[in-house]
Amino acid sequence: MKIPSIVYNIGLVFILFIILTPGLLLSIPASNNEDKFSPYINFTSNEVTLTSSIVHSAVFCLLYFSISSLNFFKER
């Protein structure tokens, strides 16, 4: 079964947006040192900073264009 390109792109953007929301699952760079796991990553911190938003948007763009260029599910 082939998935149309528009459905593939909408689904990919939706999933990446939810996963990479700053503060929801993780926050890069860390906004405080409460987690003690790493000075660079907080898990479920529920805090959003300008720096974390910029980093998450850069990661979003890199992942989106990397995954979309693989052509796994795109219609040919």
Indicate the domain borders of the chain. 5-68
DSSP state for residue 42 in the 8-state scheme = E
> How sure is the predictor about 75, in pLDDT bands with cuts at 50, 70 and 90?
low
As a whole-number percent, the residues of the chain with pLDDT over 90 amount to 8
Rounded to whole angstroms, the Cα distance separating 55 from 60 reads 9
Q: What is the pTM of this model?
A: 0.70
CB 57 within 8 A of CB 34: no
